[in-house]
Structure 1
Amino acid sequence: MGELKSYVNNLFKKYANNKQIEDLKAEILSNLEAKKADLISSGMTEEKAIEAAKRNITTIDNLIDGNKQIFINQFSTAGLQDALLYTVIAWITTIPMFLFREFFVANWILFIAILILGYNYYTRASNKNERFIAERRYVNIKNYYRLRRLVWAIWGVFVAVYILFITGVYFASNIWFSRPVAIDGPYSLAVILLRYYVPFISIIIPLAVNRLPKLILKCEVGERYE
């Protein structure tokens, strides 16, 4: 393998091979080979021509379709803020569950999550170090769009399975034997309704993930930062 080809492969080592990557590799390698040939024809030695050609392209992150250069710590802080907000809202909606000993655990889990998210958000948001704030990284927004669709799909399946399970537990025998449903008073009705409500608390996860592509665009490095 030629030195320039090895160099190009190393530039792409963190990217999975696909048609776009292979085409881009071939184009860059062709450009570097042409650059090397020009330098050699102008009197430079092959070794120096190769090194000069390498310096011509030191990164390809900006050439990958969907790649965005963002302020990574601002992005993660904003993501934590959204997750914290959604968790607080979910926690508030579960406060009435304290009246039902079967469900107060959900409220405590969310409260602990708020403490953890709140601490992490505070430590990042209060960090005024310029290097921390200005740290940049390339992320691929297409991956986050795919992640968003995947998380929503998993959540939808989870909720559907949970609801079918609860329905089976409470009403399967009534449906099977065509018996009327009997609920022993308001408390029992509230318990059943809460069991149906519990899986929907987890919607905070896909909602938080849903925001990530927008946060990428919001935290993208623009010309005003250059």
Structure 2
Amino acid sequence: MNSLERHVEKLFASYQETAEVKELKEEILSNLEAKSADFQAEGLEAAEADQKAVSTLERVDFFFADTVALYLNRWRLEVIQILLLYTLIAWVITIPLTVLGLAMRLHFVLLLASVVIGLIYFSLYLRRGGRLDERIVSFSRKALLRLRKLVWIGWSALILALLIGLTLSQFGSNIWFQRPVLISGPYQFATLAVSYGLPFVSLILPLVVSAALRLVDKYKVGDEVER
């Protein structure tokens, strides 16, 4: 593999090897080889001509209409920070419930998740800087928008299924036999309310995905260029 081929492979390192990408790589390599030949015809040595040809193309994201290049590790660090914040908020909300003897398992799971996410965050935070912060990847904006939409649809369907299942388990016989629902006291009401509220802790996932998408523009490399 010569220097021009290595340069083309490096340019497309973060892209999936689709038919479109393969065709574009071949076209770019052909153009670089033609430029190098022109430079050699002007009197430059082969190595110098290749280097000059390479310097004319340092990025390829503008060949993709909806592609945005971003600093991966900077973006990932803030996304994990947001995930940690949301998890801690959910954990704090469950503290009063544990006093009533409710949501004990969820409280422990959120605490454990906060510790694990916190360790991951501080590990990445301590390793920040230098070449690690300069790592660049390219994403399709359409794919990210599609992912956010799918996550919200999936979450909504999950919540709906859980609430329907909970309602049937709690009041199925009342609904079937058309009997009135009787709540014996404040504790039973609190237990019932918590049962309906706990599934919404999973709202963390779509919120984090939405936040991650918003942060793309904050950490993108320069301005996008239309093809």
| 1:87-98 → structure 2 map (5 Å cutoff) | 87-98=87-98
Amino acid at match of 2:137: Y
CA deviation string 1:191-223 (max 9, x = no partner): 111111011011011101111122121112338
CA spacing shift, 1:69–1:136, aligned 2, 3 Å: farther
**After the TM superposition, which of the residue ranges 174-183 and 65-74 deviates more from structure 2?**
65-74
Partner of 1:211, secondary structure, is helix
Structure 2 residues not aligned, in runs of 5+: none
In structure 2, relative to structure 1, the CA distance for the partners of 1:189 and 1:215 (3 Å cut) is same
Q: Give the letter for the 2:116 counterpart.
A: I
Are the aligned partners of 1:141 and 1:216 in contact in 2 as well (CA < 8 Å)?
A: no
List gaps (5 residues or longer) in structure 1.
none
- 1:112 deviates by 1.0
Mapped pair 1:84 → 2:84:
yes
Give the secondary-structure state (helix, strand or coil) at the position aligned to 1:94: helix
Q: 1:113 is matched with which residue?
A: 113
Q: Is the 8 A contact 1:91 1:111 kept in 2?
A: yes
Does 2:18 correspond to 1:17? yes
**Is the 1:155–1:206 Cα contact (8 Å) retained in structure 2?**
yes
Q: Tell me the percent identity.
A: 34
Q: Quick check: 1:144–1:212 contact (8 Å CA) kept in 2? A: no
| Residues 1:87 and 1:63: Cα distance change in structure 2 (over 3 Å) | same
Inter-partner Cα distance in structure 2 for 1:52 and 1:120:
40
1:136 corresponding residue in structure 2: 135
Q: Tell me: higher relative CO, structure 1 or 2? Use CA pairs within 8 A at least 6 residues apart.
A: 2
C-alpha distance in 2 between matches for 1:110 and 1:63: 43
Per the normalisation by structure 2, the TM-score is 0.76
Post-superposition Cα deviations, 1:20-45, rounded to whole Å, max 9, x if no partner, equal x577467546745765785798799x
Which residue of 1 is the match for residue 127 of structure 2? 127
User: RMSD in angstroms over aligned alpha carbons?
Assistant: 3.5
Contact 1:61–1:138 under 8 Å retained in 2: no
Secondary structure of 1:69 counterpart: strand
SS at match of 1:219: coil
Residue number in structure 1 paired with 2:173: 173
Distance 1:184 1:10 in 2: 68
Q: TM-score when scaled to structure 1?
A: 0.76
| Structure 1 residues 101 and 16, CA gap change in structure 2 (3 angstroms) | farther
Offset at residue 153 of structure 1 (A) = 1.1
What letter matches 2:135 in structure 1?
A: R
Contact 2:70 2:216 (C-alpha < 8 Å) held by counterparts: yes
Q: Deviations over 1:87-146 (max 9, x none)?
A: 1111111112203445211111111111111222222223354223x3221231523222
Residues 124, 33 of structure 1: alpha-carbon distance in 2 compared, 3 angstrom cutoff = closer
Once the two structures are overlaid, the 10-residue window that deviates more, 101-110 or 198-207, is 101-110
